[in-house]
Structure 1
Amino acid sequence: MGCFCMPKGYRKYNGTQKVEIIKRIHRENLSFKGASREYGISDRTLRDWERIYWEEGEEALLTERRGRACVASGTQKGRKPKLNKQVEEDLIAENQRLRMEIDYLKNECLGAGRGTPKQKAQVVQELRQKYPLKALLQLAGLPRSTFYYYLHQSQNPAKYQMVKEQIVIIFNENKNDTDTAESQRTA
């Protein structure tokens, strides 16, 4: 693809030129300043085109945006109206919740809703950095106290380790003693 460099000064760009410029910036990792110099367009204009491209799609750059909308004919030119703030926030929250669900369900141990509370607590702990704890606990169906119990338990696994080892040693010593006593009785 060839580069079409534009002379400096005022120039009107059609939609296909705008799309091609934005695609080239992304494809070749051009900076806005570099593309601005190359095409003779202000970097602010390029940033606006890129924002429109990401927010509304390629078609939005292809539509004419200049001037006021024609009120008399009832038709609107240009951009689609933006969603109201509340709807947009709800969609963002739902999107985050769905991503959280997907990440949670990707865990093999939790397939089809199975999994012990300990396993669920481990998964919640892994995802805790990425998502809010309250939402994760609600998704896992895990009480907060249970989560913290298993979290604390996993951080102090060797609390009674020495006692357990001593019990095993005593058991083995006594087992050997009883085995010898039984063998002497039978002999």
Structure 2
Amino acid sequence: MAGLFESAGGGSAAIALDEVEASILRTLEVQMLELIGPGPGGPGDDPLAALFAEGPTEAPEDPALARLFPDAYGEPGESTDAETRAMAGEFRRYTEVDLRARKREDALAVVRSLDGLGEDGGLLRIPAGECRRWLGALNDLRLTLGSRLEVSEEDEQGLYRLPDTDERKPLVMAYIWLGELQETLLEAMSG
């Protein structure tokens, strides 16, 4: 294995990560946790009240967060009428808190797995039950980087031809690697 997933049988996966790969992946997931933000309430808050917490009704202004938490109604990037905005706001109000919690849990699952690796990296085995969390977390990272890089279907191939002096090159390399991780994880889960 060279930093890509392979099947470990039964829907589980394994990946060999060196210390640099593990560090990059962990750093990206920690940054994702910071971007998503903390959940509602604090440790001493009423857990029953947290079940009924309502989310925001407006879409996030940050393009990366808007990509992670898109409106359920209307077309992305197009203006909508008041009725469509109201329906999207109502849907967001009741779903975003749970969606943010799931994205946080996915990112934390990856961080915890990576924390179990030795200082020099090593072979990481992902149980079948955790593979979906990994897949979700990798997808969220890739969506965020794609948003930051303003990637569109038309210009994605142009990313492969960026000169080494382009300041976006490290992010592009991470974006491409995350895509390969997603693809190989899906293959490992089905093989």
Shorter-chain TM-score tier? under 0.3
Higher relative contact order structure (alpha carbons within 8 Å, sequence separation ≥ 6)? 2
Which structure would you say has the larger Rg? 1
Of Structure 1 and Structure 2, the greater strand share is in 2
TM-score (normalizing by structure 1) = 0.23
Of Structure 1 and Structure 2, the greater helix share is in 1
